[in-house]
Chain A
Amino acid sequence: MVESPVVQGLRAYVLIVGMWIRSTMAYRTSFALTVLGNFLVTGLDFVAIMIMFWHTDVLGGFAVAEVALLYGTASASLGLADLTMGSASRLGRRVRDGTLDTLLVRPVPVIAQVAADRFALRRLGRVSQALLVLVWALSSLEVAWTPVKALLLPVTVLSGAAIFGALMVAGAGFQFLAQDAAEVQNSFTYGGNTMLQYPPTIFAKDLVRGVTFIVPLAFVNWLPALRILDRQDPLGLPGWLDFAGPVVAVGCCFLAGLAWRAGLRSYRSTGS
């Protein structure tokens, strides 16, 4: 029986990830320290938000627990995407020094190898910090829970991770063209994450439109979180869009796949 390339790619991904985890675990203390460090670094922006709320009770009409919900969902999504796909941002270096050629001759999809390359389990630090904030937010919020809302929350985090992951893959595809421009994608991933941590009400309408319709970041957490909090979104979009996260995520992944293929096809080895 011939395996589909997807199954083959996933299996290779798991194998390579397992190899890197084994190698990380050879230095357990170092691993524990880097996870802790990662946890603290990502926690700093939450400390900044807490300092803001030391001076005020509401920001953009949102209380601290509501902002924490936005923070927790956005950061958990980015953390999961970064954990599973973040290594793809190292592609520019491989293009520059020519080591990408080694990946091309192996009988495994290149994207699986690139995504699992030097898999960094320490990125669990961001995920765990985000989940901690999320749990705190949920415990201090008084949400009128319904089964739909309870289901919406995990679906939001996962489809948000898929949207961020798609941005990372598209960014990796872009690095074939502009090898040094790896930083541009940080604007969309880390910059987007920073933006989504705050209520949409504080940003200019055009900016909110941009992250809704051009780079669909609003579907990562803004729209579903507003639904959970029973709030209106500032653009007055139809309510069913709050549930469109998974569809948007699939669309993003499809487009990112096209961008990746276009990038990979245009690859010219340095020849060294």
Chain B
Amino acid sequence: MRLYGAVAASSFRRYATYRVATAAGVFTNTVFGFILAYTFIALWSIRPHLGGYDQAQALTFVWTSQAMLAAAALLGGGFQQELQERIRTGDIAIDLYRPADLQLWWLASDLGRAAFQLLGRGLVPLAVGALCFDLALPSSPLVWLAFLASVLLGLLVGFAVRYLVALTSFWLLDGAGVDMVSGLLCLFFSGSLLPLTVFPGAFGDVARMLPWSAMLQVPVDVLLGVNSGAGLAGSFAFQGCWALVLLAAGRLLQGLATRKVVVQGG
């Protein structure tokens, strides 16, 4: 356990090193926050209560998703390309004979990264949004705690999906195609373009059941207090189930990969 703590801590420090890049990312997230906020205002002033949100909640959705974009690696980034590259070059062999579990190692490293990006790239955009717009941020610390728990579960789901995608490199070697498909699905079905509650009809119903909705839509809904009591427990259960299923699938695929596949390289 201490080992994985150390991996997470060093990953946190690694991302914290690039201060200018972080500042640049904060600036970009803030600019996009402003642009999207105005488009949401335009839509919600015509259709108040669209998707079950009032305007303040819709704006909170915009700014919270900008704050979470980097941490949840919704636009890529994170460990995926790094792991793929190690599989492609054969460096993965070194990782496999380390006395540490491959999946837990990368999970710890990804959580360390996410922890930094949540603080480093999340706080400022959310604060700017709260200063410039009328947001529906909760005052109860309990809701914020529930939000953080939901973010953590969302990060687990996100990691599990990206781990599965990265492991396909054992068979495909070049991950570009799978990356593109997975990036596309993530962008659209996480709710980072539009809240999934706005998606029409049965399409929306399906979108809200998919694992990507656990990465952004569910945590933001928890922050907005859309569900309370049993509904909140349901949100956690939804995220927890996807996290368990996908992490288990990752473990299975990892077992297959390490048993059946000849590692690249001399």
Residues of A bordering B, CB below 8 Å: 30, 33-34, 37, 40-41, 44-45, 47-48, 51-52, 54-56, 58-60, 178-184, 186-187, 191, 194-195, 198, 202-204, 207
Contacts and interface: CB of A to CB of B under 8 A. Distances in A.
B38 A181 contact: no
Contacts of A195: 35
B32 interface: yes
A52 B184 contact: no
26 contacts: A30-B174, A34-B177, A37-B180, A37-B184, A41-B183, A41-B184, A45-B193, A48-B193, A54-B200, A55-B47, A55-B198, A58-B46, A59-B42, A59-B43, A60-B42, A180-B18, A181-B24, A182-B24, A183-B24, A183-B25, A184-B24, A187-B28, A194-B35, A198-B38, A202-B42, A207-B34
A133 to B, nearest CB: 16
B176 A180 contact: no
Given A55-B200, A59-B42, 10 more contacts: A37-B177, A40-B184, A47-B188, A48-B193, A55-B43, A55-B198, A180-B18, A183-B21, A187-B28, A207-B38
B42 A180 contact: no
Contacts of A202: 38-39, 41-42
A41 B38 CA distance: 23
Contacts of A34: 176-177, 180
Contacts of B20: 178-181
Contacts of B21: 180-183
Contact of A52 (B31, B43, B174): B43
A178 B47 contact: no
Contacts of B176: 30, 34
Main secondary structure of the interface of B (DSSP, over half): helix
Interface string B17-37: 010110111011001101110
A202 B32 CA distance: 15
Contact of B200 (A51, A179, A207): A51
Nearest to B181: A37
A59 B46 contact: yes
Contacts of B42: 59-60, 198, 202
Contacts of A191: 28, 31-32, 35
Contacts of B184: 37, 40-41, 44
B195 to A, nearest CB: 10
Contacts of A204: 38
A60 B46 CA distance: 9
A51 B204 CA distance: 11
A131 to B, nearest CB: 21
Contacts of B263: none
A51 B198 contact: yes
A56 B46 CA distance: 7
Q: Please give me the 10 A-B residue pairs with the lowest Cβ-Cβ distance, nearest first.
A: A180-B21, A202-B42, A187-B31, A37-B180, A181-B24, A183-B24, A48-B193, A180-B20, A184-B24, A187-B28
